[in-house]
Amino acid sequence: MNKDNRLALAFTLWALVVTVSFLWANGGQMAAKLAERLGSS
């Protein structure tokens, strides 16, 4: 596996971990607030 492939694979996994963790931790709260804002505007 060359350097570019390793970089691409590492980023793909990292992006998955970061995005899923962020949404797991905050998605519920974000959705609730969004619903509240859309309801009140």
Q: 1 Cβ partners below 8 Å, 6+ apart? A: 9
Q: Alpha carbon of 32 to those of 14, 22, 38: distances in Å?
A: 27, 15, 10
Q: Least Å distance between CB 14 and another protein? A: 7
Asked if 26 touches another protein (CB under 8 A), the answer is yes
Asked if 8 touches another protein (CB under 8 A), the answer is yes
- Chain residues in the site for another protein (CB under 8 A): 4-5, 7-8, 10-12, 14-15, 18-19, 21-22, 25-26, 29-30, 33-34, 37, 40-41
